[in-house]
Amino acid sequence: MKIENSYPSNSCQKTYPNHEVTGYLAISRMLKGSRGITGIDAKNMKVNEQIFVDELRFSLGKNSFLSSKTGDIFVTELGIEANEGQLMNIGVFGGKQNFVIQFSEKEALLENQVRVMGQKPSRSIFTIPGNTTMKGKFLVTRIRE
């Protein structure tokens, strides 16, 4: 897996060079989860540090909150600037708020045949199927300590 460090930014941004604006964010599962999904050791990342990876590997999800199928992975279109209260409002608590993995619906569907399903779009709650691997250029950002 290719990993490419980008320059840490002073503030997290929703866009990045040579890539379209992303709409969906996967909130990683603590430190162990982000390593399993991205292949990087996220615990060594500093706040606002951004790293590009070329593959995301999602196992089966363990939280069935608003999923239509057992094993679905929860994703949201809340931006990287979402605050703790906004994330708690959609069921994302604690260490799950520390990292984001960005990808667009276009990258998911057209380039990886992974459909983003709206479970409760009015609250920005979506899912992708578990046991999904996506290839492309994905941005991982540590947003909180």
The pLDDT of residue 9 is 37
Checking if the pLDDT of 82 tops 70, the result is yes
**What does pLDDT average to over the chain?**
76
Q: Count other Cβ atoms within 10 Å, centred on residue 7.
A: 6
Of 61 and 6, the one with more pLDDT: 61
- CA nearest 96: which of 116, 69, 118, 73? 73
pTM of the model: 0.76
Residue with tokens 């995301």: 56
The pLDDT of residue 87 is 87
Whole-number CA gyration radius for the chain: 14
The pLDDT of residue 33 is 57
pLDDT tens digits for range 13-65: 333 333 333 344 455 443 455 567 888 887 789 999 999 999 999 888 877 66
Report the C-alpha gap between 78 and 12 in whole angstroms.
Answer: 13
